[in-house]
């Protein structure tokens, strides 16, 4: 390739740059720094993390915190400890809030003795969400999810996170911060990326920094020598556990009780735990050390009357093996103690690489089209079948949905509104096309009173000739009917103006009578009010006050039982009274007596 402008350079791809040198184009790939593979203290294999362009990568340790059984913990950096208390605690919390991400763990007593505790729920706080993950095992195992207090089906997706279920396990993924939270009842894990949470986590899961020395971090930032004791300090207030707010009672002092001889306890032989170090897990033992899981199993089995408590340790170790790409079908080796029975419509798979294919929702592409490098056990739809929807456990052979919302068989056809639909045999999806209507012969309406009318029948538009009239029964002529043209007045109601309208009745196809009330004048002169007259279409003006017209043609209204005198005339009074049901005005004028000098007293008037 040749070029004209020496020295020019441009990108030819995300990872290559082209340069014009002496008329020749040369391409050069991006130089990437030499990478080193870190030694991860939690024994997880480091993962490749690419830059934004996707050209260069570096290795990072994974930050995975897990727990199981009566809870036994492995911190982000791999520190193992056990903690048996039945309150609510901070599992993961950001030291400096950056991603609004927190996880709490809600513990409860496993049995009535109160000596052993189990995980009841995980509570994930993200942005403005509070997601509560619960697994109930009586009378059957049931996963429950609550988002901001409202229960949702345990297959859920929105713009911020997705929740899927394998029946055995709930999986919550937050793509924006690449966090994953899993919950199996007695088993849980929190997986966050080192690049986003490095040196910025605290709680019972410790600090994500590939350094076990600071895992037992207290809320005040100090490092405790024991994570089991540190875990107490991460207690959070829970309104459902008021007993957790009471102070821890002081240890009892010495007593003078007589010394009794206690016989040694019966040796505990946790046979189920030996499976962890048997040939069943032989391949996984070579890659992942089983000691913590075996010790946890032994503790749980020897402290609980039911040996099935050890199943959680086997399941936790199997999950660690699955994550490393080693599938172990271990449940068949427990003589039924750890057997998991799936619903009738689903099958148990110990090593599935994806969730059941689902017919709808946005997470279908992200969750189903990209097989996972690790394995998941759970209850899945049989091979070749799909989960019908995110709010249904129904397994179907195809994703075709009929107009009533129910599944349709492949190849079936049906009419939906004005479309013919078929469940396509190749794509296994519904395809619809409008119904094809036959061509109608032209119609001419030449009879008197006929018009061409269009109507719809079986989703097809058709035409016919119709007489335009309205059949109206005249009650004075019992049994007789007359035909009226549109616009003709109809003598239906003396108080309404009615005529034959242009709108047709959908059932009879006849024109409808249109009526409007006859107009009534409600304007009344002064002293009158408009009153409704029973049995009449319109009311009338009724005199309710007295009206006085003065010589200067001014009018004054006087209410009944009232009197009034004109301004500057104290000698005249108008009185309004009701007489025989009508207001009547009476004029009262004060008369003065004639002048009589005898009635006067003499007075003297002096001049000045």
Q: What is the pLDDT of residues 426-439, one digit of tens each?
A: 666 677 888 888 88
Is the torsion defined by CA of 297, 300, 305, 306 positive or negative?
Answer: negative
Task: Give percent above pLDDT 90 in the chain.
Answer: 30
pLDDT > 70 in the chain, percent = 82
Check if the beta carbon of residue 186 is closer than 8 Å to that of residue 119.
yes
Cα–Cα distance measured from residue 383 to residue 352, given in angstroms and rounded to the nearest whole number: 11
Q: Is this model's pTM higher than 0.85 or not?
A: no
The DSSP H or E segment spanning 301 is helix 291-303
Q: What is the pLDDT of residue 497?
A: 82
Query: What integer pLDDT is reported at residue 318 of this predicted model?
Result: 92
DSSP conformation letters of 49-115: EE-TTSS-EEEE--EEEEEETTTEEE-TT--EEE----SEEEEEEESS-SS-EEEEEEEEESSTTSS
> What strand order describes the sheet that includes 582-589?
562-564, 572-579, 582-589
Helix axes 311-323, 291-303, angle to 10 degrees: 160
Beta strands at 129-136 and 117-126: parallel, antiparallel or unpaired:
antiparallel
Highest mean pLDDT (candidates 82-96, 343-357, 429-443): 82-96
At CA 400, angle to CA 425 and CA 398, rounded to 5?
65
Q: CB count, 10 Å around CB of 247?
A: 5
Per-residue pLDDT for 206 more than 90? yes
- What is the pLDDT, as a whole number, of residue 253? 41
- Tell me which of 32 and 227 has the higher pLDDT: 227
Q: Is the pLDDT of residue 74 over 50?
A: yes
Could you tell me which of 187, 246, 202, 165 has the C-alpha nearest to residue 63? 202
**Range from 138-147, 467-476, 580-589 carrying the lowest mean pLDDT:** 467-476
Burial of 77: CB neighbours in 10 Å, binned 0-12, 13-18, 19+: buried
The helix/strand/coil state of 315 is helix
pLDDT higher at 98 or 168: 98
Place of tokens 């639909």: 421
**Most confident of the ranges 54-68, 477-491, 591-605:** 54-68
In this predicted model, what pLDDT tens digit does every residue of 367-404 receive, in sequence order? 444 444 567 888 888 887 877 766 667 787 777 776 66
Q: How far apart are CA 136 and CA 139, in angstroms?
A: 8
Nearest to 474 by CA among 444, 504, 439, 513: 513
Q: Is 592 exposed, middle or buried (0-12, 13-18, 19+ CB in 10 A)?
A: exposed
Burial class (CB in 10 A: 0-12, 13-18, 19+), 356: buried
pLDDT digits (tens, 9 = 90+) for 471-497: 444 433 344 455 666 777 776 667 788
What is the model's pLDDT at position 139? 63
What is the rounded CA–CA span in Å between residue 250 and residue 425? Answer: 73
Give the C-alpha separation, 406 to 603, whole Å: 120
Check pLDDT > 80 for residue 557: yes
- Is residue 50 within 8 A of residue 197, CB to CB? The reply is no
Mean pLDDT of the chain: 82
Residues in the chain: 608
Q: How confident is the model at residue 602 (pLDDT cuts 50, 70, 90)?
A: low
CB of 293 closer than 8 Å to CB of 277: no
Instruction: Name which of 41-45, 66-70, 602-606 the model is least confident about.
Output: 602-606
Which of these, 337, 367, 365, lies nearest to 355 by C-alpha position?
A: 367
Mean pLDDT of 448-459: 77
pLDDT value for 111: 72
pLDDT computed for residue 122 by the predictor: 96
CA geometry: angle at 564 spanning 560 and 568, to 5°?
A: 170
E strand intervals along 398-505: 413-416, 419-423, 430-434, 450-457, 460-467, 470-473, 481-484, 496-504
Q: Phi and psi of 529, rounded to 5°?
A: -130, 150
147 beta partners:
131, 150
Of the given ranges (85-99, 360-374, 403-417, 450-464), which has the lowest mean pLDDT? 360-374
- For residues 413-419, give the mean pLDDT: 82
* pLDDT of 194 above 90: yes
pLDDT in the model for residue 404: 63
Question: Rounded distance, CA 85 to CA 97, Å?
Answer: 27
The DSSP H or E segment spanning 147 is strand 142-147
Which CATH code fits 63-244? Answer: 3.40.1000
Q: What is the mean pLDDT of residues 72-79?
A: 95
Greater model confidence, 519 or 127: 127
């Amino acid at each position: 390739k040749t070029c004209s402008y020496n020295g020019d350079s441009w990108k030819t791809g995300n990872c290559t740059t082209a340069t014009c040198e002496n008329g020749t184009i040369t391409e050069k790939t991006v130089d990437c720094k030499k990478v080193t593979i870190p030694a991860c203290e939690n024994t997880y294999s480091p993962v490749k993390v690419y830059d934004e362009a996707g050209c260069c990568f570096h290795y990072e340790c994974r930050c995975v915190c897990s727990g199981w059984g009566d809870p036994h913990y492995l911190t982000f950096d791999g520190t193992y400890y056990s903690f048996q208390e039945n309150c609510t605690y901070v599992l993961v919390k950001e030291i400096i809030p950056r991603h609004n991400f927190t996880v709490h763990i809600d513990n409860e007593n496993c049995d009535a003795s109160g000596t052993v505790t189990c995980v009841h729920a995980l509570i994930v706080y993200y942005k403005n969400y509070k997601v509560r993950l619960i697994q109930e095992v009586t009378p059957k195992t049931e996963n429950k999810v609550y988002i901001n207090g409202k229960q949702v089906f345990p297959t859920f997706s929105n713009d911020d996170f997705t929740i899927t279920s394998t029946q055995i396990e709930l999986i919550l993924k937050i793509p924006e911060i690449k966090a994953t939270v899993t919950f199996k009842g007695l088993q849980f894990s929190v997986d966050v990326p080192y690049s986003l949470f490095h040196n910025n986590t605290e709680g019972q899961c410790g600090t994500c920094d590939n350094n076990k020395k600071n895992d037992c971090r207290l809320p005040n930032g100090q490092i405790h020598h024991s994570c089991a004791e540190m875990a107490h300090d991460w207690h959070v207030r829970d309104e459902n556990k008021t007993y957790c707010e009471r102070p821890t009672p002081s240890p009892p002092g010495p007593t003078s009780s007589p010394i009794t001889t206690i016989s040694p306890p019966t040796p505990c032989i946790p046979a189920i735990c030996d499976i962890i170090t048997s040939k069943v897990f032989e391949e996984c033992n070579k890659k992942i050390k089983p000691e913590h899981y075996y010790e946890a199993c032994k503790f749980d089995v020897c402290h609980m009357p039911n040996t099935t408590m050890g199943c959680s340790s086997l399941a936790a170790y199997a999950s660690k093996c699955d994550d490393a790409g080693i599938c172990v079908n271990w449940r068949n080796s427990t003589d039924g103690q750890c057997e998991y029975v799936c619903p009738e419509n689903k099958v148990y798979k110990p090593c599935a690489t994806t969730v059941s294919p689902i017919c709808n929702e946005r997470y279908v592409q992200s969750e189903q089209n990209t097989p996972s490098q690790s394995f998941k056990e759970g209850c899945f739809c049989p091979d070749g079948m799909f989960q019908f929807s995110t709010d249904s456990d129904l397994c179907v052979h195809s994703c075709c949905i009929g107009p009533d919302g129910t599944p349709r068989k492949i190849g079936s056809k049906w009419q939906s509104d004005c479309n013919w639909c078929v469940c396509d045999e190749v794509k296994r999806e519904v395809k619809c096309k409008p119904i094809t209507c036959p061509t109608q012969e032209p119609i001419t309406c030449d009879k008197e009173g006929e018009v061409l009318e269009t109507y719809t029948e079986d989703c097809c538009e058709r035409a016919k000739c119709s007489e335009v009239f309205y059949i109206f029964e005249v009650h004075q002529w019992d049994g007789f009917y007359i035909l009226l043209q549109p616009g003709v007045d109809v003598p239906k109601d003396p108080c309404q103006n009615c005529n034959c309208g242009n709108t047709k009745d959908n059932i009879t196809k006849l024109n409808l009578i249109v009526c409007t009330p006859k107009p009534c004048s409600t304007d009344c002169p002064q002293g009158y009010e408009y009153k409704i007259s029973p049995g009449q279409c319109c009311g009338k003006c009724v005199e309710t006050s007295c009206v006085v017209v003065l010589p200067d043609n001014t009018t004054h209204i006087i209410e009944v039982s009232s009197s009034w005198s004109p301004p500057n005339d104290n000698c005249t009074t108008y009185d309004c009274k009701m007489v025989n049901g009508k207001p009547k005005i009476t004029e009262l004028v004060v008369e003065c007596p004639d002048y009589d000098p005898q009635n006067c007293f003499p007075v003297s008037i002096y001049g000045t």
